A and B are shown apart, each in its own frame.
Chain A
Amino acid sequence: QVQLQESGPGLVKPSETLSLTCAVSGGSVSDINWWSWVRQSPRKGLEWIGEMSPSGTANYDPSFMGRVTISMDISKNQFSLKLISVTAADTAVYYCARHVAVPRTRGFDYWGPGTLVTASS
């Protein structure tokens, strides 16, 4: 059974960097699935942040471009999110998720439980 677990600070000061890690168990991050970060806030709902391929290629939503980096650590079987220059608008529950591996389809079949990150001084 695949499981994902987000971890990282729950409180980040404005202008600083948000760093989260998603530990994957029951599967390998370098197998065939892609992986994503999604956040959810009352103001914006569900927002896709970006994705990473099993080979390490990343794609980002244009609204986060320039502020976001997604990376992978195969040795630890995890992938990470870094978001720089955070503001109060980045306060949200952050989820990591696995993409369905069926070709030419879309959907995220496994999600972590989510972690609340608050941007506040």
Chain B
Amino acid sequence: VLTQSPGTLSLSPGERATLSCRASQSVRSTYLAWYQQKPGQAPRLLIYGGSIRATGIPDRFSGGGSGTDFTLTISRLEPEDFAVYYCQQQYAVSRPYTFGQGTKLEIK
């Protein structure tokens, strides 16, 4: 199980956002990914392999963590960053993938 916190984060453009993803058991960090989803759209891969930015993702997005605790950091929020963010993990090869319940990042 992946638990994301907070459920909703209210911040202003220019601020720093830190989103948390906690796993119920230890996860290989390279098996962790983060997505952004806007209304009516499919999820968009931001970070894969725990800390690798996907193609075209700005460097204000960074992923980190290990064991059971992982974070997505957005260093300086832009207006287009307000969306819902999900973490995803696979505990081991051939095991199911699971997603967190999401963190909604809203404009304060």
Interface residues of A (CB under 8 A from B): 36, 45-48, 51, 59, 61-62, 95, 97, 100, 102, 104-109, 111-114
Q: In the bound complex, do residue B54 and residue A107 qualify as a contact, i.e. CB atoms below 8 Å apart?
A: yes
Residue-by-residue, is B36-54 near A (CB-CB < 8 Å gives 1, otherwise 0)?
0000011111011110101
Q: In the bound complex, do residue A105 and residue B99 qualify as a contact, i.e. CB atoms below 8 Å apart?
A: no
Q: In the bound complex, do residue B49 and residue A48 qualify as a contact, i.e. CB atoms below 8 Å apart?
A: no
Interface residues of B (CB under 8 A from A): 30-33, 35, 41-45, 47-50, 52, 54-55, 86, 88-90, 94, 96-99, 101-102
Q: How far is the CA of A61 from the CA of B42 in the complex (A)?
A: 21
Query: In the assembled complex, how far is the CB of residue A1 from the closest CB belonging to chain B, in whole angstroms?
Result: 11
Taking A95-B43, A100-B45 as given, write out 13 further A-B residue pairs in contact, using a Cβ cutoff of 8 Å, ordered by the A residue number: A36-B97, A45-B102, A46-B99, A47-B99, A48-B97, A48-B98, A95-B42, A102-B49, A102-B52, A105-B52, A108-B43, A109-B55, A114-B42
Q: In the bound complex, do residue B54 and residue A61 qualify as a contact, i.e. CB atoms below 8 Å apart?
A: no
| Chain B minimum-CB-distance residue to A45 | B101
| Chain B minimum-CB-distance residue to A96 | B42
